[in-house]
Amino acid sequence: MLPGQESVWDYPRPPAIDASGELVEVVLGGAVIASTRDTVRVLETSHPPTYYLPMSAFAEGALWPAAGSSFCEFKGGARYFDVLGGGTVAERAAWNYPAPTAGFEVLADRVALYPGRMDRCTVDGERVRPQPGGFYGGWITDRVAGPFKGAPGTMGW
């Protein structure tokens, strides 16, 4: 681990909420669909942070309700969104917890994205690398050190 890095193995379980204040920008279809410093990170053992942006940070028409739902043992029931930008549609590429469980209320009006389904996501100008695998939505930057859950052979972690 390099100086100044956070180890994802030091993150708690159940997860913690961290108000980051970092500039997060999201590009899809060549269009900037979100740009904000009003960001929070969810930090959970073995996972890179998942960034949550306020719904109000997204360009009008960028989020469309999608079919399906899921359940997190910590945050509660999630709903999904298709993400639209520059004529491109990323199906079920975003989610939120409209009625999160106690301790996660700050997520109610925020949305998380799968960074690998966008053209580009950046945190303070650094291009994000998506968490391995197709299930988790973590954002890997130079700020965090793994190994990260999601790669083959890590489902039992």
Q: CATH topology for 6-145?
A: 2.170.150
Express each pLDDT in 35-46 by its tens digit: 999 999 999 999
pTM above 0.85, yes or no: yes
Residues β-bridged to residue 100: none
Q: Is the pLDDT of residue 2 over 90?
A: no
On whether the CB atoms of residues 84 and 146 are closer than 8 A, the answer is no
Report domain extents, the chain: 6-145
**Which tens digit of pLDDT belongs to each residue from 12-63?**
999 999 999 999 999 999 999 999 999 999 999 999 999 999 999 999 999 9
Distances (CA, A) of 34 to 37, 38, 64, 123: 10, 11, 14, 12
**pLDDT at position 25, please?**
98
The average confidence (pLDDT) of the chain is 96
The CA distance from 18 to 92, in Å, is 25
| Helices and strands, counts by H and E, the chain | 0, 15
